[in-house]
């Protein structure tokens, strides 16, 4: 049998356009993206700490950037990535002990997504409340 003819008879691999996006697929991708975001977001914390050690003018410059609308938006996203990735880690821990693979799997995905959004908003509300109380 000719090798070219054998290759022509093999089925093609399905393409991504064929798959219907499922919550499990999306959450897996988001978990990886939030992990990468945490890697780069940690640089923001390092910059903030180094500026605090460098002196009042450096700290004020970084605070003005982080306090801007865009800076606050980035920090909000970083907070969500941190919370979402942590909750995803708890979900993986549940799987590591052999639980959560049945029908409750979909519930775990939904709880981790909703929980990360709610917890992020609560963290920011508490942060602004404490900021107002301190000033």
**Digit-coded pLDDT (tens) for 22-48:** 888 889 899 999 999 999 999 999 999
Tokens of 34: 């939030």
Phi, psi at 119, each rounded to 5°: -65, -35
Give the predicted TM-score (pTM) of the model.
Answer: 0.80
Q: Which DSSP category does 49 fall into?
A: H
Per-residue pLDDT reduced to its tens digit, 93-122: 999 999 988 888 899 999 999 999 999 999
CB 40 within 8 A of CB 47: no
Asked if 135 and 74 sit in the same domain, the reply is yes
> Do 84 and 119 lie in a common domain?
yes
CA 106 to chain centre: 18
Reading the block at residue 115, the tokens are 């929980």
**Residue 85 known to bind ligand:** yes
Residue span of the structural domain in which 95 resides? 68-135
Is 124 domain-assigned? yes
Task: Tell me, yes or no, whether 113 lies in a domain.
Answer: yes
Q: Is there a single domain that holds both residue 98 and residue 84?
A: yes
Identify whether the C-beta of residue 120 lies closer than 8 Å to the C-beta of residue 80: yes
Contact between 34 and 88 (Cβ < 8 Å): yes
Number of domains in the chain: 2
Examine the domain organization and report whether 51 and 76 are in the same domain.
Answer: no
Judge if 61 and 97 occupy the same domain. no
Quick one: 81 and 48 in the same domain?
A: no
């Amino acid at each position: 049998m000719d090798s070219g003819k054998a290759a022509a008879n093999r089925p093609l691999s399905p393409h991504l356009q064929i798959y219907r996006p499922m919550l499990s697929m999306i959450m897996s991708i988001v978990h990886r993206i939030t992990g990468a975001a945490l890697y780069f977001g940690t640089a923001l914390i390092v910059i903030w700490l180094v500026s605090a050690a460098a002196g009042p003018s450096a700290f004020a410059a970084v605070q003005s950037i982080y306090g801007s609308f865009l800076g606050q938006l980035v920090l909000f996203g970083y907070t969500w990535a941190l919370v979402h990735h942590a909750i995803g880690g708890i979900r993986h821990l549940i799987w590591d002990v052999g639980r959560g693979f049945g029908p409750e799997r979909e519930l775990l995905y939904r709880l981790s997504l909703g929980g990360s959004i709610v917890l992020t908003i609560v963290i920011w509300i508490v942060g602004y409340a404490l900021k107002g109380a301190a000033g």
